[in-house]
Structure 1
Amino acid sequence: MRFSAGLAAEKYDRQYSDRELIRRIAPYFRAQWKRLAGLVTLVLLISATSSLLPILVSRGVDRIEGRASWELALTLGGAVAGIGIVRWVANWARRRLAARAVSDVILNLAKDAFEASTAHDLSFHDEHSSGKILSRITTDTRDFGQLINMTVDVTSQVAEAVILGVVLVRIEWRLSLYIFALVPILFFLTVMYRRFMRRVTRQGMRAMAEVNATIKETVSGIAVAKNFRQEQNIYNLFERANSTSYRMNVRRGLAWTVVIPTLNGVGGLASAILVYFGGMNVIQGVVTAGAWYLFLLSLDSFFFPVMSMASFMTQIQTGLAAAERVFALIDAAPVVKQTGSEAVGRLRGAVDFVHVNFRYKDAEPVLDDFSVSIRPGENLALVGHTGAGKSSVARLVARFYEFQEGEIRIDGRDIRSLDLEAYRRQLGIVSQTPFLFSGTVLDNIRYARPEASDAEIEEISRQVGEGEWIETLPRGLDSEVGERGAFLSMGQRQIVSLIRVLVQKPTIFILDEATASVDPFTEWQIQQALNLILSSTTSFLIAHRLSTVKSADRILVMRSGKIIETGSHQDLLAQGGHYAELYNTYFRHQSLAYVEQARQIASGSGV
C-alpha cells in the first residue's frame, strides 16, 4: 500500500514555483523593512566577525611561530574574546529583531488565511473539511514562520562564506580552488534533494490535516458516538488517520537521513584533500603554516552554509509547502461572483426567479427552468419531498451558491449586481438546526446587531410568550448557552434564533424549519416569534410544521426542481393533488381534527 493513498490534494490546491512563492511572500515583509534593515546590518556584522576570527588566529600563529611571547598570546586571546562578545551581542539583537518580524508576518498571514476562509462561499465549506482548513490557518502558518527563522540563519552563514571566500582567494588562490571545486557538487545534491523533499513534505502536511479533520469531526460528534456505543469506531478512525501521518513522517525522516551522511562524506573528502595538498604546500614553502591553518579552520565555515541549506531542507521544504497550502486557500477562486457592487439601500423585498437553472454538480440538476415571483411582504411556504429543491431556492436567495442560468432579481435588480455584504445585512436566516455560539443568550441574540442595547433586546424578547421562556433560564438572558447551545433545549434554541432575527429587523427572512418536536407551550412561543417576523418580512419558509404552512400567504409545491402546484392550504387540499398527498403523509397528524379523532378512537376502544 502506498504511503500517499488517500492523501489527495484539495480541489482548490495548486502548486507554486519557488519564484511565485517568494513573490507572494514579499508583500508581508514590506511593512517590516526597518527591522529587516537592522537584521541585514547585524547579519553582516556577525558574518564579518565570524570571518575575522580564523584570519586573526592564523595571523597569530604565524607571529607566534616567528616570535613567541606571553604578551602576543594575551593580545591574541583578548582579541578572540572581544570578537566572541561582539558576536554574542549581535546574535542576541538579531534573534530579537527576527522574532518580532516573523511574529508579525505570521500574524498577518493567519489573518489573511482566516479572512479568505470566511469570505469563501458556503459551497466551499460544504465541499471541504473545516478541520483541514483549520490546519492551514494554524499549523501551516507556524511552519512557515520556522522557515523564515532558518532563512535568516542560513543567510548569515552564506554571507560569512562569501567573505571568507574572498579572503582565501587573496591569501592563496591555488588552495582556494580545491575548496571551490566541491561547491557545485554540494549544490547539485541540494537541488536534487529539494525536489524530492517538497513532494514528501506536501504529503506529510495533507496527512496531518487529515488527522486534524478527524479529531474535529469525532469530538464534535462524540454525543452521537456514545449514543450508539461507537467509541471504539471513532478511535479506529483516528488511528487510521494518525498511522498514515506517522508513515508519511517516517518517510520524511528517512529522506532526511540520506542527505546528512552524503554531505558529511563530501565534507570529509574536502578535508582530506585540503590536509594533503595544504601540507605539501607548507613543506614546499608555498604557503605558511598559519595560512594552511586558516584554510583548515575556514573549511567548516565555508562548507557549513551549503551543508546547512541541505541539512535544513526538510524544514525549508516544510515551510515552502506550508506557504503553498496557505496561499492556495487565500487564492482559491470564489464560485459566487458578483458583477457589480451597487448600493442596496432599504429593500422592499420583491424577489423574482426568472428561468433559473441550478445544479450542485454537473449532470445533477436541482432547479430546472425555475420561475416564480414573490411580492414584497409575502410569506411563501416551500413544501415537497426531500431533494425537491426547497433548500436550494433559499440558498440562492441568500447568494450562498451560484446558479448557472437565468436571473434572480431583488426589487427588480439583478442579485449579482448588488453589494453582497450590504444585501446580506437585510437577510434573516434560521437554519434547521439552530446554531448558537458559546456565550450568553444575550450575546447570541445581539450577534447580528452588535449595537443593539440590552433594553431593546429584552423588550423584543418579552414579546414572545410574554417573556415566560426567559423565566425558565437560570440567569435569564445572561444564562450561558454552552458549546453549540448545549445548555438549552431544542425549543429554547429555536426561540433564541428567531429573536436574533427579530432584533436584526431584516427585509427578507429564510426559515429552514426544525423537524424536532417540542412541547405544545414551546411550539406556541415559537409560532408567536415566527408571526412577529412574518408580519414585517418577505419570507421563504421551508416548512415542517402544519401551523407554519397554514400561516403562509402562498404555498409552492415542488418536485424534482419544478413547481407543480401553487395556492393556499385549503385550495391545494381541495385539488387532491401532490400537496394533499404530502398533507396526509407529513402534516395531517399535526392537525387538531386528527388529534381529536385519534382521541375519540382511543376512547372508543377502551385504551
Structure 2
Amino acid sequence: MGFLMDGLDPEEYDRAYTDRQLVARIVRYFRPQARKMAIVAGATVLASLVDTAVPILIARSLDRLQANPVLSSLAGLAALISLLSATSWVFNATRRWLSTEAVADVVLHMREDAFDAVTARDLSFYDQFPSGKIVSRVNSDTQAFSQVITLSMDLLGQILLIILLISYLSFVSLRLTLILLGLAPLIVVAALAFRAMARRTITASRRVNATVSSHIQETISGIGVAKTFRRERAIYEEFLPVNEQSFQVTRRTRFVFSSIFPVLNMLAGIATALLVYFGGLTVQAGALTAGGWFLFIQGLQMFWFPLTSIASFWSQFQIGLAAGERVFALIDAEARVVQTGAEVIEQPRGDILFEDVGFTYKQPAGDELTGADRELPTANWVLRAFNLHISPGETLALVGHTGSGKSSIGKLIARFYEFQEGRILIDGHDIRALDLGAYRARLGIVTQTPFLFDGTVMENIRYGRPDASDAEVEQVARHVGGGDWIMSLPRGLATEAGERGANLSMGQRQIVALARVLLQDPAIVILDEATASIDPLTETLIQEGLDEVLAGRTAIVIAHRLSTVRTADRIVVLRQGEIIEQGDHEMLLARGGHYAELYNTYFRHQSLEYIEGVAAL
C-alpha cells in the first residue's frame, strides 16, 4: 500500500471539500442550463411513465387472454407495445440530447475557468508545481468531472422509475411490496460501503495520472539533452517505476469499481429468488393472479436495476467529485502576487525605487510571513533590507555571482513574484497598487533563452501588440541588427518559427525577441542575460538593436557580456542580495574591488585589448 501512494501526496494548494460544497459548486455551473434541464426533467418523467406502462399493459393483457384468447388482441397488444417503445425512445433521445449539450456546456465553462486560473497564477506557482500535473487538471480532470454530471442526470430518471414501480407494485400486492422494501436496504448498505474506498482510490488514480503526464512532458521537453548525454536508457528506467505505480493504482481502482456491480447483482438475485418463492405461494393461495405475479416479477427486474444504479451512484459519484475537487482546488488556489489597487500610470518615466525590500522564494503559498517566520535563516532570503534607486532613462547593469539576486530584482520589477518586506515604487506609485495589465504593457523583457510560439516570425514579433500593422512590424524588425538577418530567413518575416523557435538559430530567436520588445515601445526594459547564449559575431550584429531598444528607456541589464556592462550608465555589484559596489566601468576597475575581480575572471577575455594581446603572442 505504501508503494501505491508514494509521491501521490496532495499539492500544497489542494484543499478538502465536502460533498455538499462540491454539489453546491456544480449546481452553480448548471444554473445557465435551467431551461434545458427543465425539458430533460419532463422527458425523464414521461419516459419513466411509458416504461412503467409497458409491463402493466402486458400483465393486464395476460389476464384477459387467459379468459378469452383472441388473435386480434395479440396483434393489437404488439402494436401498442411497439408504439409505447417508440414513444419511450423519443423521450429518452430528447433527454440524452439535451443533457449531453448541458454537460458539454458545463465542462466547457469549467475548463475555461480552470485555464483562466492557470493564466492568472504568478510565476512562483509554476516554480513550485510541475506543469504536467497542472495540464492534467485542466484537461483530464475536467473531462472526468463530466461523468458525475451524467450520473446526476441519470439519477433523476432512476428515482422516478422506482417511485412509479413501488406505487403500482403495492397496488398489485402490498405483502410482496413490503418484503421487497425490506430487502432493498441490504443493497443500499452494500453500495454505501464502497463509498470511502472509492473516494480514496479515485483520488489516488487522478494523482498518479497527473504524475505520469508530468513525467512524460518533462522527458519530451528535455529529450535533446537526454540524447546529447546518451541518457535514453536512463530516462526509460526512471519511467518504469512511475508507470508501474500507475498500473498498480489503476488496477486497484478498477477492481474497486468493477466489484461493486457483481456484489449488488448477487444480492439482487437472492432477493429475487425470495420474492419468486413468496409470490408463488401467494398465487397458489389465490390471492394473486398469474398476470399479477408476472407483473410483479417483471417490475421487480425493472426495480433492481435503478436501485443498484442509485446505490452504486455514491461510489461512482466519487470519480467526478474527486476530479471536480482537483479542478476547484486549482481554480481556488490563492495567488501570492496580490494587487491592492488598479492605478494606471499614463506616461511612465521609468523611475524605480526599492525601499528596504525583503524577498524570499521560501514563503508558503497564500501565507504572509509574520512573527517567528520573519526569522528565516539568512540563506533563505534572496534580498533583505534592500535599497536601490534607478533613475528614469538610466541603463543599470547588475553583476555578481550566481545566486547574488540579479535575476530576482528583475522579476520583482516585473511583478512576477511577491516580496515580503518593504516597498517597490514605480514613478512614485506602489507597484502593488498598479494595474498589472497596463503596467506590463509598458514593460519589455528579454531573457537568455527567448520563447517563440509556433507561428511566423512576423506573428511572434507582433505578439505584444496584436493590432500592429505588417508595415510597423517590418520597420521594427529592420531596426534590429540592421535588418540583414531578415535576408537569411527562407521566407523573410513569413518564415515559420516552429515550436519554441526550433527553425531559427539562437541568435535569430534573440533578435526576434528584441524586435518584439521594441514594437511594444516599453518605458522599462529588462535584459536578463539576453546575450549570454549568443556568439560574439551575432552579438556584434544585434548590439545596434540593443542600443535602439535601450535608447531613452530605463534599462536593467543582467549581463555576462562585457559590451553590455561597459556601456551601462551605472554598474551595481551584488553579493548575497547586498550591494557591495556601484559606479561606472572605469571607476570600479580603478577601485580594484569585487568588480575588478569579476572583470578579470569573466569579462576581461572578451575585451578587444585582451584578444589583440593574445593574438600578438
TM-score when scaled to structure 2?
0.95
SS at match of 1:428: strand
Matched, 1:14 2:12: no
Matched, 1:417 2:433: yes
- Partner of residue 109, structure 1: 110
Output one character per residue of 1:445-495: Cα deviation in whole Å (capped at 9) or x when no partner: 000000111101111111223211111111111111111111111111111
* Contact 1:214 1:237 survives alignment (8 Å): no
Residue 150 of structure 1 and its aligned partner are, at CA, apart by 3.0
Output one character per residue of 1:377-429: Cα deviation in whole Å (capped at 9) or x when no partner: 11111110000011111111111111111011111111111112211111111
* Contact 1:394 1:540 survives alignment (8 Å): yes
Matched, 1:580 2:596: yes
Output one character per residue of 1:108-137: Cα deviation in whole Å (capped at 9) or x when no partner: 111111111011011001111111111111
Residue 79 of structure 1 and its aligned partner are, at CA, apart by 1.8
Tell me the distance in 1 between the aligned counterparts of 2:567 and 2:457.
28
Amino acid at match of 1:144: F
Tell me the distance in 2 between the aligned counterparts of 1:583 and 1:269.
87
- Partner of residue 534, structure 1: 550
**Among residues 519, 538, 558, which one is paired with 1:522 in the alignment?**
538
Residues 93-492 of structure 1 mapped to structure 2, 5 A cutoff: 93-311=94-312, 315-361=316-362, 363=376, 364-492=380-508
* Contact 2:532 2:559 survives alignment (8 Å): no
Tell me the distance in 2 between the aligned counterparts of 1:12 and 1:173.
55
Tell me the distance in 2 between the aligned counterparts of 1:220 and 1:145.
30
- Partner of residue 368, structure 2: none
Tell me the distance in 2 between the aligned counterparts of 1:187 and 1:342.
59
Amino acid at match of 2:549: I
Output one character per residue of 1:300-336: Cα deviation in whole Å (capped at 9) or x when no partner: 2212122124556665322221111111111111111
- Partner of residue 23, structure 1: 24
* Contact 2:133 2:213 survives alignment (8 Å): yes
The 3 A distance-change label for structure 1 pair 310 and 253 is: farther
Residue 12 of structure 1 and its aligned partner are, at CA, apart by 0.9
Greater mean deviation of Cα atoms: 116-125 or 263-272: 263-272
Residue 266 of structure 1 and its aligned partner are, at CA, apart by 1.2
SS at match of 2:392: coil
* Contact 2:192 2:314 survives alignment (8 Å): no
* Contact 1:353 1:408 survives alignment (8 Å): yes
Tell me the distance in 1 between the aligned counterparts of 2:613 and 2:424.
45
Residue 164 of structure 1 and its aligned partner are, at CA, apart by 0.9
* Contact 1:197 1:314 survives alignment (8 Å): yes
Tell me the distance in 2 between the aligned counterparts of 1:225 and 1:517.
20
Tell me the distance in 2 between the aligned counterparts of 1:166 and 1:359.
68
Residue 240 of structure 1 and its aligned partner are, at CA, apart by 2.2
Matched, 1:4 2:5: yes
Greater mean deviation of Cα atoms: 431-440 or 21-30: 21-30
Output one character per residue of 1:75-109: Cα deviation in whole Å (capped at 9) or x when no partner: 22222111111111222222221222221211111
**Among residues 483, 488, 496, which one is paired with 2:512 in the alignment?**
496
- Partner of residue 70, structure 1: 71
Tell me the distance in 2 between the aligned counterparts of 1:405 and 1:103.
46
Output one character per residue of 1:230-258: Cα deviation in whole Å (capped at 9) or x when no partner: 11122223322222111111001221243
The 3 A distance-change label for structure 1 pair 438 and 584 is: same
Residue 41 of structure 1 and its aligned partner are, at CA, apart by 1.1
* Contact 1:102 1:149 survives alignment (8 Å): yes
Residue 165 of structure 1 and its aligned partner are, at CA, apart by 1.3
SS at match of 2:382: strand
Residue 594 of structure 1 and its aligned partner are, at CA, apart by 0.9
SS at match of 1:2: helix
SS at match of 1:370: strand
Residue 502 of structure 1 and its aligned partner are, at CA, apart by 0.1
Unpaired segments ≥5 residues, structure 2: 364-375
Amino acid at match of 1:418: L
Tell me the distance in 1 between the aligned counterparts of 2:308 and 2:147.
18
Amino acid at match of 1:522: T
SS at match of 2:4: coil
SS at match of 1:361: coil
Residue 516 of structure 1 and its aligned partner are, at CA, apart by 4.2
Tell me the distance in 2 between the aligned counterparts of 1:259 and 1:67.
46
Tell me the distance in 1 between the aligned counterparts of 2:525 and 2:570.
15
Tell me the distance in 2 between the aligned counterparts of 1:517 and 1:8.
38
Tell me the distance in 2 between the aligned counterparts of 1:588 and 1:437.
36
The 3 A distance-change label for structure 1 pair 371 and 516 is: closer
SS at match of 1:462: helix
- Partner of residue 605, structure 1: none
* Contact 1:354 1:406 survives alignment (8 Å): yes
Tell me the distance in 2 between the aligned counterparts of 1:432 and 1:517.
6
Tell me the distance in 2 between the aligned counterparts of 1:425 and 1:316.
45
Unpaired segments ≥5 residues, structure 1: 602-607
- Cα RMSD after superposing both structures: 1.5
**Identical counterparts, % of pairs:** 51
Tell me the distance in 2 between the aligned counterparts of 1:30 and 1:593.
74
* Contact 1:201 1:314 survives alignment (8 Å): no
Paired positions, count: 601
SS at match of 1:246: helix
Tell me the distance in 2 between the aligned counterparts of 1:225 and 1:134.
23
Tell me the distance in 1 between the aligned counterparts of 2:262 and 2:95.
31
* Contact 2:523 2:553 survives alignment (8 Å): yes
TM-score when scaled to structure 1?
0.96
